[in-house]
Structure 1
Amino acid sequence: SFCGSKLPDAQAAYETANSLNMGLLSGVNFMLHSCGWLEGGLVADFEKFVMDADQLGVLHGLAKGVPVDENSQAMDAIREVGPGGHYLGCAHTQANFKSAFWKTELFDYKPFETWDEEGARDTRALATSRVDHLIANYQQPEMDPAIAEALAGYVARKKESMPDAFS
């Protein structure tokens, strides 16, 4: 998503959230260049990419809408718990709490003391850690050897046709 910030900071987060939210509210179903861009698209940043992908996960959940089915209405749970009770131990809550909300892989919701003991890392530092994890665990997908050969030939021909563009 376009933003004027030079770093993956609060300005970048505000601008990206606003533009992605407006896209969602206007009904788009595909957002080109929605991850990782800084300085109006002049810079791509891995940490910003991870942050933006996380935000898109939130928006994906919002775009699904609110389900109105028997499970989501939880009428049996309401009857089971009754007035004045709580839902934490109820079977419906236990069956649904892990998937009921978007769970970011990026943000830190631990208590301050725990956060401080673990290095007091901000969102950018957490994103850097996530990038490092993704790169370390990357597995290149298999490609049909004929397609790989054709692709390598195409790239070689293009490089030969534009010698000033490649060094």
Structure 2
Amino acid sequence: MTYQTDFAAILRATRTALNLTQEQLAKRLGVCFATVNRWESGGNTPQHAAQQTILALAQEAGVQGTESPPPAEAAAQVTRRRTGREATATPTTKPMEQMLWDAACSIRGEKDAAKFKDYLLPLLFLKRLSDVFDDEITRLAEKYGDYATALEIAESDHSLLRFYLPPQAR
């Protein structure tokens, strides 16, 4: 049994012992529901800080790593309690997504996915603006001969471009 599988089982057992839904547990941990769902299914492993918080919560609930029910049994118990009928959990593996999250966390520190969008979306928007501006300058360069001339013309007449980016923003 791997550490990831043990951790998913501990998380499920803790949630069952505290009689919480995934949404309630996510709120208590300060992460989004989808994050808890991925952790429980074994698709992703929580980062170190989240692992420490979850282990402290497991200790509070009296759950030990060796006493965890098997993943299928724990998932079935939670599902039955929540919906009243038995359902099978379909775990998904997303190793590339986890690798990207790990890389992002090592650069900027740990953030929840919902909070991370506040950083990512503006960067993507700025990248798009920069790409479109470069395309516009390339179009002018083809029309007027070379790149330097196209930049001079763009500096003097902004109406030739869809939008203008000043030099310090490029």
Q: TM-score range by the shorter chain?
A: under 0.3
**Which protein has greater RCO, CA pairs closer than 8 Å, 6+ apart?**
2
Higher helix share: 2
Q: How high is the TM-score relative to the length of structure 2?
A: 0.22
Q: How high is the TM-score relative to the length of structure 1?
A: 0.22
